[in-house]
Amino acid sequence: MCTGACSKFVAYSLYPLAAVSIICNIILFFPDFDTKYTGEDGAETPRITAEVKYMGGLVGGGIMVLVPAIHIHLTSARNCCANRCGMFLSIGFAALGVLGAIYSMSAASLGLANGPTCFWKNEYNTVPSWGTPFANSSGSYLGDKEVWDWCLEPAGVVEFNLGLFVTLLLTSSLQLVLCAVQMVNGLFGCLCGTCGGKE
C-alpha cells in the first residue's frame, strides 16, 4: 500500500470517529434525554457531570481530529497536497489529532472514574442532595451495580454516562492509533513520495 492510499484510509476512518465523539459529547449534556438538567438557573450545585463540560469529545476527539482528517484526506488527493510537502505537513496535523485524542481519552477516563452528578442518597447521606457520590471511589463503583441505585435522578444516569464515556474512550483510542499511523506514514511519504504517479 502506498503512502497516499494509506492516508486516504486513515482519513476515511477518522471522519466517522470524529462524528461519534461529537455526538456522544452533545448527548452527555442531556442526561435521561431531558433538557431540564442543563437549564436550571439558580441551582446551587451543578446538574451536569463536570467532565462533560470539559468537552473532550467535542473539542478533543471532534474538532482536533476532524481538522487533521481533512488535511490527511487532501494528501491522498491528486493535484492538491499529494506531495512530499503535504505529507510532511500531515505529520504535524496528525500530531494535533494525537493531542486531541489524548484529551478526549483523559476527559472520558475522568468521567468514568468520578461517576455522574446526580440527586442521590444512601445510608450515610439520608437527606437526598445533588452531588457526585462516586467521586472518591476511583471507579470501583463500576463493578458494583447495587450502588448505582444511590442516584435517584436523572433516571439511569450511571448507565447513561457509562455507555457514552466508554464509547468516547474507545473512539479516542482508535483515533490515537490512526493518527500515530499517519505520523509514520507521513514520514515515509515525505521521504519517498506519495506514489501518486503509479496510481
What is the mean pLDDT, run by run of 10 residues, along the chain of 199 residues?
77 94 94 77 68 92 92 73 74 92 95 90 82 83 87 90 95 95 84 57
**Which amino acid type is present at position 116?**
P
Nearest to 54 by CA among 105, 99, 96: 105
Under 8 Å CB-to-CB from 107, ≥6 apart: which residues? 51, 54, 55, 56, 57, 60, 168
Q: How far apart are CA 96 and CA 14, in angstroms?
A: 13
Query: What pLDDT is attached to residue 198?
Result: 44
Residue found under cell 431531558? 34
Q: How far apart are CA 70 and CA 65, in angstroms?
A: 9
Write down the pTM of the prediction.
0.85
Nearest to 58 by CA among 33, 36, 29, 93: 29
Residue found under cell 470501583? 140
Query: What pLDDT is attached to residue 1?
Result: 55
**Which amino acid type is present at position 100?**
G
Secondary structure element (H or E) that encloses residue 152, with its range:
strand 151-153
Under 8 Å CB-to-CB from 7, ≥6 apart: which residues? 72, 73, 75, 76, 87, 90, 182, 185, 186, 189, 194
Query: What pLDDT is attached to residue 46?
Result: 66
